[in-house]
Chain A
Amino acid sequence: MIEIRFHGRGGQGAVIASQLLAMAAFKEGKYVVSFPYYGVERRGAPVTAFTRISDRPIRIKSQIYEPDYVIVMDTGLMSQVDVLKGLKPDGWVLLNTTKRPEELGVTGRKAATVDATGIAIKHGLGSKAAPIVNTAIIGAFARLSGLVSIESVVDVLLKKSPAAPEKNAAAAKDAYEALVFYER
């Protein structure tokens, strides 16, 4: 079983991202669960969401404490939230940034970066002040993890995006190509 934790801010679409990723894996025949840590989900407040992906039915109903992947949709959160908490020693962190991981204090970790914000703005997703980066980040995650194909992600986005399905699918494809890997 693979466990993924999303960190975002209210309004960025972290909960929807965890659901769309689960749908893409479900489409490929995997057992999946997606759930939020339901807190004070005001716009801008820190939000946590989770996805589990497995080859067997998933019966564990507790939260995820030792994820295999951590996805940080807003690196500004890293001053208030310990996003790497519990990440498995071999686990990956995916950062939405134009910086290098060590510039954000991430060292000794398998890390990858993508400018999901820039890609979302380019495709007109959300506003410049508050771009919706969730679909771009899933495209990048598909490349990073190999857990789901970009084709499945695109298919889910075309069918399930609440708005602008083509733009969301294009953003995911761009992010898939734009991912930068940093081995520790």
Chain B
Amino acid sequence: MKTMITGNEAAAWGARLARVKVVSAYPITPQTKVVEKIAEFIANGEMDARYIRVESEHSAMAACISAENTGVRTFTATSAHGLALMHEMLMWAAYARLPIVMAVINRAMAPPWSIWADHQDSMAQRDTGWIQIYSESNQEELDAVLMLYKICEDKDVLLPAMTMMDAFILSHTMEPVDIPDQKLVDDFLPELDLPHRLDINRPAGHGSLIMPEGPVMEYRKAMADAFAGVRDKILKVEEEFREIFGREYGGLVEEYRTEDADAIAVVSSTIASTSKEVVDRMRERGLKVGLARVRYFRPFPHRELREIAKKTDMLGVIDRSYTFGYGGALYAETKGVLYGHSDIPVKNYIMGIGGRDVTPEILEKVFMDMLKIAKDGAVDTEVEWVGLIGDERWSA
């Protein structure tokens, strides 16, 4: 059924169609509508789930962890400060190998207060052991929730995942979305069978103290190994999804007009969507630009980016966050995996912080800058902030 819904509603529909059994969440703008919609589904009897109300996001994740421990599928959603407050519990969920799925509506961190889109909140959680995917449309958001349960619950994976969408740009934007038939989803997504679930008939203790000589390090290595296998699961699940639902998204990195490109933008989320339009406009004028949309940031698509670097003369990495180390996270990690594999120039563009609008006009200026670097063979500035107030160079 194709209908008009917002990104927040798409995430809620994903949870409903996945037959999630427990939802625990605390409201925060711009996530609120996700949990409101789920509460409505449950109240109307359209979703057979338990909604656990809590006093904070830390408790919301704790409730999901406890529920998931018993072997039932759980879901939550949050944004920005709510996600930051969850930090401790995020690691607990991942290290306990619980395949929880969470929608994160990307919102800037304060101060100053900003409720609009940037990726600082989720990028700050990149080392918690969660799979991360960034959506560019409401359809992709709904489909990602369904695919993530299948990926995460695989016995070789058993890891949690967060699916990101940009605040307001998707969360409050209404687009046509194909809501799949429940029966098709049921065929695609089997019931959760958590091997280490708590079971009174098989008494066991989890998460107790282990001395340095004990297998803590081995647990971490097993988790790292599981993460290394996620890439292939993503590709396999996406193929199954395509066969059943007829939609595909390009795996970990979606390539758009990268063939014979002089310069390729490496970018995620809704900026990638707008960039595709810009790429088409520039290609019409004979300007050879392309785009690599990083969908999965965890696991990091190192193989894909190394292959993409072989196809072009430079990469322009657009980040909607900043690490306060060196550049944005996507830039730093892209450069890291290219070291020893590629010598092409890589430049970082910091854009859209605090919801600053990223227009086709400003993106075209970025692509023109990239083409110049491709021609010169060297970057002028390694990390550049684009679209600052009063900066004539980038004003549209």
Which residue numbers of A lie inside 8 Å of B, CB to CB?
19, 22-23, 26, 31-36, 38, 58-63, 65
A5 → chain B closest CB, angstroms: 14
Q: A19-B4, A23-B4, A38-B116 are in contact. Are A62 and B30 (CB under 8 A)?
A: no
Binds A, one of B140-148, B170-178, B342-350: B170-178
A31 to chain B, nearest CB (A): 7
A-B contact pairs, 5 of them (CB 8 A): A35-B169, A38-B30, A59-B273, A60-B273, A60-B277
CB atoms of B274 and A59 under 8 A apart: yes
- The docked-state distance in angstroms from the alpha carbon of A38 to that of B4 is 19
Cβ of B66 under 8 Å from chain A: no
Shortest beta-carbon distance, B301 to chain A, in Å?
A: 22
Contacting pair B172 A35 (CB below 8 A): yes
* Residues 109-132 of chain B, each 1 if its beta carbon lies under 8 Å from chain A, else 0: 000000110000000000000000
Q: Is the CB of B175 within 8 A of A61?
A: no
Q: Are A36 and B4 in contact (CB under 8 A)?
A: no
Closest to A156 in B: B4
CB-CB contacts below 8 Å: B24-55 with A: 30
- CB B281 to nearest CB in A, in angstroms, measures 11
B4 lies within 8 A of A35 (CB): no
Assess A35 versus B174: contact at CB under 8 Å? Given A62-B357, A62-B360, A63-B357.
yes
The 6 A-B pairs of least Cβ separation, nearest first, read: A35-B173, A61-B270, A62-B359, A34-B174, A59-B273, A59-B277
| Chain B 342-386 interface residues, beta-carbon cutoff 8 Å to A | 357-360
Number of interface residues of B (CB under 8 A): 24
Dominant SS among interface residues on chain A: mixed
Q: How far is the CA of A59 from the CA of B363 in the complex (A)?
A: 14
The total of interchain contacts (Cβ-Cβ below 8 angstroms) comes to 57
| B197 in the interface (beta carbon within 8 A) | no
- Of B175, B271, B276, B358, most buried by chain A (CB within 10 Å of CB) is B175
A19 and B277 alpha carbons, distance in the complex (Å): 23
Q: In the complex, which residues of chain B have a beta carbon less than 8 angstroms from the beta carbon of A33?
A: 173-175
For A34, the chain B residues whose CB sits under 8 A away are: 4, 173-174
Beyond the given pairs A32-B174, A58-B175, 7 more chain A to chain B contacts, judged by CB atoms under 8 angstroms and listed by A's residue number, are: A22-B174, A26-B176, A35-B169, A38-B30, A59-B277, A61-B358, A62-B358
Q: Which of A22, A26, A31, A59 has the most CB of B within 10 A?
A: A59
- What residues of A have a CB within 8 angstroms of the CB of B331 in the complex? none
A61 to B168, CA, bound (A): 10
List, in ascending order, chain B residues with CB within 8 A of A63's CB: 357, 359
Within B173-221, which residues are at the interface with A (CB < 8 Å)? 173-176
Partner of B168, one of A22, A31, A38: A38
Known A19-B4, A59-B277, A61-B270: A32·B172 in contact at CB below 8 Å: no
A32, B174: Cα distance in complex, Å:
8
B172 x A38 contact (CB < 8 A): yes
